[in-house]
């Protein structure tokens, strides 16, 4: 979700669910240790519970970043060893690290020694020619020995050569049964399943076998689906029952951000899918896309675009 789940996206999603754990886009250790901390780590207090997703392969660097994450108030640190992009591979982290489970265990152990918040790992079911279940079992067993108790598993292999990141999200077959087997083999560990999950009904089915479900692009492209997460999974009222309620809060946020120098299109790009599948959704997307980038554009663009939607 690089360049997707930034702080504006997360604030918007938090208007729809108070309880779901939100994850940042992946931030590399080099970006944190050599870059602008506020740019990468600042977030609104309403975003809790919030996990910082890190990319890296050096235990010392990851430990320093974990300390930063805890000091900035994050609730979880997630080490991403599932991203298959070439840019990530050139940095010697991401999915290629699944070939080095002991290194991942060392990274987790280094972070766990310095922080009190959970350190979790996100990974694929394997890479390239690895054996399906035996290598996956060995990976989890080894990383768990480093102190990881929570594994977020994208139930596809990653092919590091020959497939693009987009193709790696679509072509390798989903093998949910392998994630189920992990839970059966390691009942004391927590497994969160990811990949190709579209509906809350699908989530409920998976929860019969594993501990949690992660939605990625589906939550981004169809965010209104999140509005039912709290009542369905947590037995609590939804933060907003009507889109209009959420739009009022969103426009208040936009007005405040504009005063800080944020451009409208940096926020509005995240809400284009809000009315996916509803009459007027195309006009909503088109109006925002054509006007949000213009000089002086403000929350009135969102309010005008909303007139194309029946909000009753």
Contact 122, 82 (CB under 8 A): yes
DSSP code at position 231:
I
Q: Which of 309, 206, 300, 291 is nearest to 252 (CA)?
A: 300
Take residue 120 and report the two structure tokens written for it: 């979790």
DSSP code at position 230:
I
DSSP code at position 228:
G
Contact 104, 62 (CB under 8 A): no
DSSP code at position 77:
E
**Catalytic residue status for 240:** no
**Chain position carrying tokens 């919030």:** 50
Instruction: Please list, in sequence order, all residues whose beta carbon lies within 8 angstroms of the beta carbon of residue 228, skipping any fewer than 6 positions away.
Output: 200, 238
Spot the catalytic one: 9, 83, 148, 240. Answer: 83
Cite the active site residues.
Answer: 83
């Amino acid at each position: 979700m690089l360049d997707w789940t930034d702080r504006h996206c997360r604030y918007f999603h938090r208007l729809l669910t108070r309880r779901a754990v939100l994850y940042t886009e992946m931030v590399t250790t080099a970006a944190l240790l050599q870059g602008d901390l506020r740019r990468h780590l600042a977030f609104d207090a309403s975003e809790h519970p919030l996990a910082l997703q890190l990319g890296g392969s050096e235990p010392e660097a990851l430990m320093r970043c974990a300390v930063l994450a805890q000091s900035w108030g994050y609730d979880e640190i997630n080490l991403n060893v599932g991203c298959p992009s070439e840019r990530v591979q050139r940095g010697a982290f991401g999915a290629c690290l699944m070939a080095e489970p002991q290194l991942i265990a060392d990274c987790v152990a280094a972070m766990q020694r310095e922080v009190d918040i959970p350190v979790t790992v996100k990974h694929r079911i394997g890479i390239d020619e690895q054996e399906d279940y035996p290598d996956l079992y060995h990976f989890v067993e080894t990383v768990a020995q480093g102190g990881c108790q929570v594994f977020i598993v994208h139930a596809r292999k990653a092919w590091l050569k020959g497939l693009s990141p987009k193709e790696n999200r679509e072509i390798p077959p989903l093998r949910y049964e392998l994630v189920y087997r992990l839970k059966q083999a390691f009942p004391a560990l927590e497994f969160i399943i990811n990949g190709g999950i579209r509906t809350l009904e699908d989530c409920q089915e998976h929860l019969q076998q594993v501990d949690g479900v992660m939605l990625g692009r589906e939550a981004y492209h169809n965010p209104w689906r999140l509005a039912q997460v709290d009542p369905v999974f947590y037995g609590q009222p939804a933060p907003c029952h009507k889109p209009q309620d959420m739009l009022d809060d969103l426009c208040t946020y936009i007005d405040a951000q504009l005063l800080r120098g944020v451009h409208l299109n940096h926020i509005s790009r995240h809400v284009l899918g809000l009315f996916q599948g509803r009459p007027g959704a195309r006009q909503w997307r088109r109006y925002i896309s054509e006007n949000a980038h213009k000089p002086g554009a403000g929350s009135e663009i969102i309010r005008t675009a909303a007139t194309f939607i029946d909000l009753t």
